[in-house]
Amino acid sequence: MKTSAIQLTVLALGLAAASSVLASGSYSISGGDQANQAYNLGKSAFYRKLACSSCPLAGQELDEAKATELVAQLAKASELAQKLSETERDAAVVYLKRRYKLD
């Protein structure tokens, strides 16, 4: 009987350890992560909805001057801005500002 109790205890501890290992990759939205989330969302939205092969900015080279112009367009109700949701617009601005060091 002692062996069975020990085996059950070891099994229980093993299962508990396994569940904590699986949870170690869980998602959290701390301050630093939110900035990265906005950057990643902005990059994704920019390339999926504005710079894809059939999108308004297809084939255009981006530099600091063009990125500054795009940030201004996204800030107002331009045709380009209407291609994105408000969250995507804000994130695209974060992406462009960080990528082209506009601040």
Full 3-state SS string of the chain = CHHHHHHHHHHHHHHHHHHHHHHCCCCCCCHHHHHHHHHHHHHHHHHHHHCCCCCCCCCCCCCHHHHHHHHHHHHCCCCCHHHCCHHHHHHHHHHHHHHCCCC
Q: How many domains does the chain contain in total?
A: 1
Instruction: Please report the pLDDT score of residue 20 as a whole number.
Output: 46
Domain-embedded: residue 21? no
Domain-embedded: residue 91? yes
Residue 81 has pLDDT above 70, yes or no: yes
Domain-embedded: residue 2? no
User: Mean pLDDT score of the chain, rounded to an integer?
Assistant: 83
Q: Which domain holds residue 65?
A: 41-103
Cα–Cα–Cα angle for 63, 34, 86, rounded to 5 degrees: 65
Report pTM: 0.68
Per-residue pLDDT of 42-71, as tens digits, reads 999 999 999 999 999 999 999 999 999 999
Domain-embedded: residue 33? no
Domain-embedded: residue 19? no
Domain-embedded: residue 52? yes
